[in-house]
Amino acid sequence: MIALLKRDLVLALRAGGGFGLGLAFFLIVTVLVPFSVGPQSALLGTIAPGVLWLGALLACLLSLDRLLALDWEDGTLDLLATAPLPLESVVTIKALAHWLATGLPLVLAAPVLGVLLNLPGPGFLWMVISLALGTPALSVIGTFGAALTVGLKRGGLLLSLLVLPLYVPTLIYGAEVARRGAEGMTVATPLMMLAGISAAVIALLPFASAAVLRVNLR
C-alpha cells in the first residue's frame, strides 16, 4: 500500500496534475477576484471565505480527469483489480494521493491567499480547519467520479458535470464555517455537518468506486 501511494504521488507530480497546477489556479482565482469586484476592503473581507473555498474546490477538480486515466491507458488498472490488495483499498489510496498532492497544499496556502482578500483575522484559523476537514471529501468524491468516467472519450467534461453537484454540500458548509469564524460567530453546527459529510463520504464512497471500477473493467 505504501508503494502504491508513493507511485501515485510521483505520477501526480509528473503528469501535470500535481500541487503546482492546483496552487497556480488557486492563486489566479484569488488575484482576479479583487479586479472583478473592486478594491473595497470590506466587501473583499465579506466574500473571502466563499471565494477561497470555491477556488480550492475548482483547483481540486483540475486533476481528477487523470486520476485513473493513466492507469487505464497503460493497463495498470487491470493489474490492480486482480492484485491481492482489495480494490476498495486501491481507490482509497488513490484518493489519499490526490489529497496529498492537491488538497493539502491548498490548505496550507489558504492563509497566505486570504491576506490578498482581506480575510478578517479570526477567519484564518477557521479557513484552514474547514479546508482540512472538507478537502478530503472532495478528493474521495472526485475519485468516485473518475471511476464512473474511466475509459470514456472526453470523460473530463462529463466528470465535471457529475462531480460538481456532489461538491455542493461540502462547499456550503465549508464556506459557512469560515464565514462564521471570520465574523466571530459560533461554528459548531456547520463544522459538525462538514465533518459528518467527510466521514460519510470517506466511509462509503470507496466501496461504490470499487464496484463501479469492477463493472467498467469487465
pLDDT tens for the chain, 218 residues long, are 777 788 777 777 765 555 578 888 899 988 888 888 877 888 888 899 999 999 999 998 887 877 887 777 777 777 777 777 888 888 999 899 889 888 999 999 999 999 988 899 889 999 999 999 999 999 999 999 988 888 777 667 788 888 999 999 999 999 999 999 999 899 999 999 999 999 999 999 999 999 988 887 77
pLDDT at 181: 93
pTM, 2 dp: 0.90
pLDDT value for 16: 53
User: Residue 37 CA to chain centroid, in angstroms?
Assistant: 26
What is Dmax (Cα atoms) for the chain? 58
Q: If you search the block for the grid coordinates 486501491, which residue do you land on?
A: 90
Q: DSSP letter at 18?
A: S
29 close to 55: Cβ distance less than 8 angstroms: yes
Instruction: Using the Cα atoms of residue 31, residue 33, residue 34 and residue 36 in order, give the sign of their dihedral.
Output: positive
Delimit the domains of the chain by residue range. Answer: 1-217
The predicted pLDDT at position 175 comes to 95
How far apart, in whole angstroms, are the C-alpha atoms of residue 110 and residue 48? 10
C-alpha cell at 157: 467534461
Q: How far apart are the two ends of the chain, measured CA to CA in Å? A: 24
| Per-residue CA distances from 140 to 10, 37, 158 (Å) | 19, 33, 17
pLDDT reported for residue 167: 95
Q: Which residues are CB-neighbours of 164 under 8 A, at least 6 positions away?
A: 61
Give the pLDDT of residue 213: 87
Give the closest residue to 103 by CA, choosing from 164, 12, 189: 12
- Kindly state the cell numbers that stand for 49: 471565505
